[in-house]
Structure 1
Amino acid sequence: MRVIDATKLIPESIPVLVVGAGPVGLSLAIELRLHGIEVVVIDQDLDIVDEHPKGRSNDLRTLEHYRRWGVSDELRKWAWQPPNPKQQLVITESLVQRPLGAYPLLYGRDVEESKDLAAEPSLSVPQPITTLVLQNRAIALGASIFRGWKAISVQQDEKRVVVELQSPGGDIRWVASDYTVGCDGPGSLIRNAAGIKQKGIDPIGKTLSYVVRSEGHRISDMTSSPAHSSLGMLLVLNSRVSSIISIPGEENWGYSIMVPNGDNLSEDEALSIGQDILGVNARLEIVSRSSYRVFTRVSTSYQTRRLFIAGDASHLCPPTGGYNMNVGISDAVNLGWKLAAVLNGWGGQRLLQTYDIERRPVGERVSQSAMDNAHSLRRVAEVFKELPSLETTSSEEERFQRGQRAYKMSYPEWNNIGVALDQRYDTSPVIINDDWECAPYDGTKLWPHASPGHRAPHLWFPDSSPLLDHFGKEFTLLDVGAVEENVQNILAAARHVGMPLKRLQLSASLARTKYPAELTIIRPDQYIAWQGSQCDEPGLMIDKIRGA
């Protein structure tokens, strides 16, 4: 789908150049435009690529960004919507059989479940749709997007970055920018130009992924029974094969198989496995295929002077848990407001250094979580290969317990609220912790109380609007019955250095269940920078949180 005129001239200079127009690069463009920063995004693909399905999972934190950007309603129109909105993990021995049972899927997709956690439920939508919606929003906000342009070389000095570009017609053009950000994937030119190395866990195997069409067995028909009514994710487990099933369309469905590194399957072998998953010896047709190595890579730095990286360019992990795109979008949000603060004159240069300090530990932690999920699913497959098939006379309880065993063994794969909403910046130099304490990190749970270095907890206002909608575009000073003099001292310190700070007053009856302090300062990325009842040196505090 070609949506941008790739023949228009690219400017010679721009404050921020983004290389890569996937969801992460477009998210960065949106964030920069919301802060008034001119941005150019280039991508070597003329069209938004719509091939093998990937990146469907959009978690609760990502939906907070989509809501702020005004695109969540549009994306929800394209999202997976089962008859029962609860959305659970359905486990079955084959697609044609009655499922073993439905088990809790704590991804935040259930409207009721998510109400206490965030403003909107999470959703599952094809990545090409996400990319198109984000691209249209970036353009509407004034971002310039050039498809078909390829970055050839990169040079930087103390004052600027110069990137050599090749147009769709083969012409060469140079663009100068204050900052360049590589959202250009695993083989990132920007990362290599910045001299950034990577480390991680070596491959434990290779996953082969197929989308197929089964003659006489439409996936929409096979998942239309009452037992599938809350279908959010589908896992097939039997003595021959196990796989999480993707459902790209009414007829097509997908499965993935891990094999040793270097191994491949013939088409006949791949189709035979598909028939085992289907549960009958029906004719299958391969619609698309893909493969990836099961490993992790995290860059040793996310920045070299004026060059930054985000998304797959900075971290890569298996798709178990659906983390990588979501983490990349939060990379973009973290970096976007900081670049804007520096370019707008009130952010200190130290602020840009905290992008790596805050986001790289998140990339490492989440990549490890994804790898742990891959190991647990492999253990489940090994255990179920040794189990005999259930008898047709097996009771519903026996069937449910069979699925429950697999569910417990792979629990973090299906329960990732902490991974999504509890990405912490405890050690950041622009976060003031003082003596506030919190529970240890747990990727399956959320610490629900306000703490410096944590995302600001969600609240509902009496008019049914979420707290998120009331935050300022820049910093917010949350006032819960604070002494007026203390409030004014902080506001004056912010005005003195030009740091935008909006005062938001809340009643104690509304806020105190999650916000223990009278005053809380919340950053543009909805993270808590400081909290307390008063500040003896507000000027020093403001300077610290703005990176001066």
Structure 2
Amino acid sequence: MSDQELPTSIPILIIGAGPVGLSLAIELRLHDVPVVMIERTPTIEDDHPKGRANDMRTLEHYRRWGVSDELRALAWTTENPRQELVITETLLGEPIGAFPLRLGRDPAESESLAAEPSLSVPQPVLMRVLERKARELGALIYRGWEVTKLAEEERKDRVIATVQSPGGTPHRIASSYLVGCDGPNSLVRRTAGIAQGGTGPLGRTWTYVVRTQGYPISELISGRKYAALGMLLVVNPEASSIISIPGYDEWGVGILKTGQGEAIAEPSDEEVKSYVQQLLGTPATVEILSRSSYASMTRLSTQYRRGRLFIAGDACHICPPTGGHNMNTGIEDAVNLAWKLAAVILGWGSDSLLDSYDTERRPVGKRVSDIAMANSLAMQEADKFLHEDDNLSLSPSQKAQSVYDRSYTQWNSYGVVLDQRYDGSSVILQDRWEAPAWDPSKYWAHARPGHRAPHLWLSDGRALHDRLGPGFTLLTIGGRQEEAAKFLSVAKSLGVPVIDLDIAPEIAQGKYPAKLTLIRPDQYIAWQGDKCDPEDVLHHVSGKKQATKHLRDLKL
């Protein structure tokens, strides 16, 4: 785009066109909010592979956006859709164990939990699909441009960004709100003066894509024992790593060096090649194709908002990739924030609705980061366990079982994926329906305010989430048309977008205990009950007032 095509003002300006920024842009455009994105990298590069995990909750968004079929056609698949964690001592040796991999990748496993299974696709592939969708919906994306300065003008209710074009020409663009999806070193976060805390770094992991001459990965994992391969873990006294599979001939490996304080030296090429040979099980010729690294640490911002400046994704939270949660958590940040920004821009939401973004998403960011770090430490402890003298005599199958047991939440993450909760939110109307304690590996699939609306298959074969509106949806069980009509009439008078969806009691399958359930644009439950004052509920969930004591005390 030429310099002259950059608008001088826009309701929402997004900095960063990674998966999180693109998700935010797509959601905003689905709410008909104009948006401009600034991304300093000129193109999407197929560099070192990362960010392959796309969980069931994220697939619900891809499905709504109309891109899940395209992504699934591009995803890595296995001969057996069941998918397992396969553990072996070398890639040339026989597997010593295969264990459940409860990540929702098998349709038979996931169909009672979500409309689509999770998938594995390289991040550059994902970004191209999302960027194409964002542009199709009307988002203006400026690649090769860079934001150099930000300033809030409180008296004029706007943010001014100074933007440099690819040719070096400075421009100014004003926005009502600005969102930084601009990574761990976020300019938006630094400009807002938002601090971060966290754990570590406790070490650094270097990741490599390699080619082993005469041993293409496709041949190494061929055969019946690898038919359900979802994750591959190699563990032996000299080397251990989760193996990634970016291509027919190439495979990926990670090397962890623990330590704190001073910079940790990267392994030499000779060390890397020796390590790869130990994983392979033979002294083959090793070619290093690409490399990257990450610190074993967590970082969580103390705020996700300051005034008209917001942050999302890596700008808010970073954690080890164990479990594959950070990108998915960032996409959920975007979905949560988008409808709230849209509500304020379109006039039916209040400023306190925007405050709820921090209240809801920051505790999730901490919880996920803590789990990811615990997973990372558990993998280290499992490796140490196998090197202890008392355990050297364990049989191969016992070793595999020990590794699996010690790293269980790495491979079983239903709770992290589907059961994040907004219990402390000011725009959620809590009731007396009690939920069990949160468990990272288990999903409690019942409706409760502050929880994701549980998945159902409807009588027409469609998923419940396919029928939810872009605004709120009032779910009625068994024909409560009088109450629904009153609720929709009040919503219309207040300008709050609400549609009605009635389902039969037998379809609800005990997952929805109330006759009326109000589901938000982000598919979370805002309120449930058998009766209410619609105006009171709608004012509360749009952030315009707190609930009355009468409304809080209503029982199911």
Q: Normalised by the size of structure 1, how large is the TM-score?
A: 0.96
Q: How does 1:69-80 map to 2 (within 5 A)?
A: 69-80=65-76
For residue 528 of structure 1, report the CA deviation from its aligned partner.
Answer: 0.1
Rounded to whole Å, the distance in 2 between the matches of 1:225 and 1:250 is: 15
Amino acid at match of 1:137: K
| 2:239 counterpart of 1:241 | yes
Contact (CA 8 Å) 2:359, 2:425: kept in 1 or not?
yes
Amino acid at match of 2:437: P
| 2:366 counterpart of 1:368 | no
Contact (CA 8 Å) 1:238, 1:389: kept in 2 or not?
no
Q: 1:335 is paired with a residue of what secondary structure? A: helix
Segment drifting more, 294-303 vs 458-467: 458-467
Rounded to whole Å, the distance in 1 between the matches of 2:251 and 2:205 is: 16
Distance 1:387 1:471, change over 3 A: farther
Match of 1:346 in 2: 348
Rounded to whole Å, the distance in 2 between the matches of 1:498 and 1:169 is: 44
Q: How does 1:15-34 map to 2 (within 5 A)?
A: 15-34=11-30
Match of 2:188 in 1: 190
Segment drifting more, 294-303 vs 538-547: 538-547
Amino acid at match of 1:532: G
Question: Which of the numbers 111, 114, 117 marks the counterpart of 1:115?
Answer: 111
Identity between Structure 1 and Structure 2 (%): 54
Question: Which of the numbers 502, 506, 517 marks the counterpart of 1:505?
Answer: 502
Segment drifting more, 171-180 vs 491-500: 491-500
Contact (CA 8 Å) 2:385, 2:391: kept in 1 or not?
no
| 2:168 counterpart of 1:170 | yes
Contact (CA 8 Å) 2:479, 2:502: kept in 1 or not?
no
Contact (CA 8 Å) 2:413, 2:442: kept in 1 or not?
yes
- Structure 2, unaligned runs of 5 or more: 545-556
Match of 1:219 in 2: 217
Amino acid at match of 1:367: S
Q: C-alpha offsets along residues 121-156 of structure 1, whole Å, 9 cap, x if unaligned?
A: 000000000000000000011111100001101001
Match of 2:552 in 1: none
For residue 388 of structure 1, report the CA deviation from its aligned partner.
Answer: 9.8
For residue 263 of structure 1, report the CA deviation from its aligned partner.
Answer: 2.6
Q: C-alpha offsets along residues 269-308 of structure 1, whole Å, 9 cap, x if unaligned?
A: 1111111111110010100111111000000000011000
Contact (CA 8 Å) 2:386, 2:399: kept in 1 or not?
no
Match of 2:41 in 1: 45
| 2:453 counterpart of 1:451 | no
Match of 1:407 in 2: 404
Q: How does 1:256-271 map to 2 (within 5 A)?
A: 256-261=254-259, 262-264=263-265, 265-271=267-273
For residue 67 of structure 1, report the CA deviation from its aligned partner.
Answer: 0.2
Contact (CA 8 Å) 1:6, 1:46: kept in 2 or not?
no
Rounded to whole Å, the distance in 2 between the matches of 1:285 and 1:130 is: 27
For residue 7 of structure 1, report the CA deviation from its aligned partner.
Answer: 6.0
Rounded to whole Å, the distance in 2 between the matches of 1:249 and 1:72 is: 22
Q: How does 1:419-434 map to 2 (within 5 A)?
A: 419-434=416-431
Contact (CA 8 Å) 2:180, 2:187: kept in 1 or not?
yes
For residue 257 of structure 1, report the CA deviation from its aligned partner.
Answer: 1.4
Match of 1:151 in 2: 147
Rounded to whole Å, the distance in 2 between the matches of 1:44 and 1:15 is: 21
Q: 2:272 is paired with a residue of what secondary structure? A: helix
Distance 1:157 1:502, change over 3 A: same
Q: C-alpha offsets along residues 408-453 of structure 1, whole Å, 9 cap, x if unaligned?
A: 1100000011101111101100000121211111110101100000
Q: 2:151 is paired with a residue of what secondary structure? A: strand
Q: C-alpha offsets along residues 87-111 of structure 1, whole Å, 9 cap, x if unaligned?
A: 1111100111111121100000011
Rounded to whole Å, the distance in 2 between the matches of 1:506 and 1:315 is: 38
Q: 1:464 is paired with a residue of what secondary structure? A: coil
Match of 1:439 in 2: 436
Rounded to whole Å, the distance in 2 between the matches of 1:387 and 1:77 is: 47
Rounded to whole Å, the distance in 2 between the matches of 1:477 and 1:61 is: 21
Segment drifting more, 481-490 vs 357-366: 481-490
Match of 1:530 in 2: 527
For residue 402 of structure 1, report the CA deviation from its aligned partner.
Answer: 2.5
For residue 484 of structure 1, report the CA deviation from its aligned partner.
Answer: 3.7
Match of 1:317 in 2: 319
Q: 2:45 is paired with a residue of what secondary structure? A: coil
Rounded to whole Å, the distance in 2 between the matches of 1:513 and 1:98 is: 45
Rounded to whole Å, the distance in 2 between the matches of 1:93 and 1:71 is: 39
Q: How does 1:532-547 map to 2 (within 5 A)?
A: 532-535=529-532, 537-547=533-543
| 2:463 counterpart of 1:463 | no
Question: Which of the numbers 459, 465, 482 marks the counterpart of 1:485?
Answer: 482
Match of 1:521 in 2: 518
Match of 1:358 in 2: 360
Rounded to whole Å, the distance in 2 between the matches of 1:62 and 1:88 is: 21
Rounded to whole Å, the distance in 2 between the matches of 1:92 and 1:477 is: 51
| 2:204 counterpart of 1:202 | no
Match of 1:416 in 2: 413
| 2:54 counterpart of 1:58 | yes
| 2:228 counterpart of 1:230 | yes
Amino acid at match of 2:57: R
Q: C-alpha offsets along residues 385-426 of structure 1, whole Å, 9 cap, x if unaligned?
A: 3479999xx9xxx54333111111100000011101111101
Contact (CA 8 Å) 1:479, 1:503: kept in 2 or not?
yes
Contact (CA 8 Å) 2:386, 2:392: kept in 1 or not?
no
Question: Which of the numbers 469, 473, 476 marks the counterpart of 1:472?
Answer: 469
Q: 1:100 is paired with a residue of what secondary structure? A: strand
Rounded to whole Å, the distance in 2 between the matches of 1:532 and 1:444 is: 29
Q: 2:5 is paired with a residue of what secondary structure? A: coil
Rounded to whole Å, the distance in 2 between the matches of 1:7 and 1:538 is: 49
Match of 2:548 in 1: none
Contact (CA 8 Å) 1:241, 1:381: kept in 2 or not?
no
Amino acid at match of 2:264: D
Match of 1:286 in 2: 288
Match of 1:137 in 2: 133
Q: How does 1:373-384 map to 2 (within 5 A)?
A: 373-384=375-386
Contact (CA 8 Å) 1:95, 1:222: kept in 2 or not?
yes
Q: 2:95 is paired with a residue of what secondary structure? A: coil
| 2:108 counterpart of 1:106 | no
| 2:331 counterpart of 1:329 | yes
Rounded to whole Å, the distance in 1 between the matches of 2:294 and 2:2 is: 31
Amino acid at match of 2:176: D
For residue 49 of structure 1, report the CA deviation from its aligned partner.
Answer: 2.5
Q: 2:245 is paired with a residue of what secondary structure? A: coil
Contact (CA 8 Å) 1:517, 1:533: kept in 2 or not?
yes
| 2:8 counterpart of 1:12 | yes
For residue 83 of structure 1, report the CA deviation from its aligned partner.
Answer: 0.6
Rounded to whole Å, the distance in 2 between the matches of 1:479 and 1:274 is: 58
Contact (CA 8 Å) 1:178, 1:306: kept in 2 or not?
yes
For residue 527 of structure 1, report the CA deviation from its aligned partner.
Answer: 0.2
Q: Normalised by the size of structure 2, how large is the TM-score?
A: 0.95
- Structure 1, unaligned runs of 5 or more: none
Q: 1:14 is paired with a residue of what secondary structure? A: strand
Rounded to whole Å, the distance in 1 between the matches of 2:216 and 2:320 is: 28
Rounded to whole Å, the distance in 2 between the matches of 1:435 and 1:85 is: 40
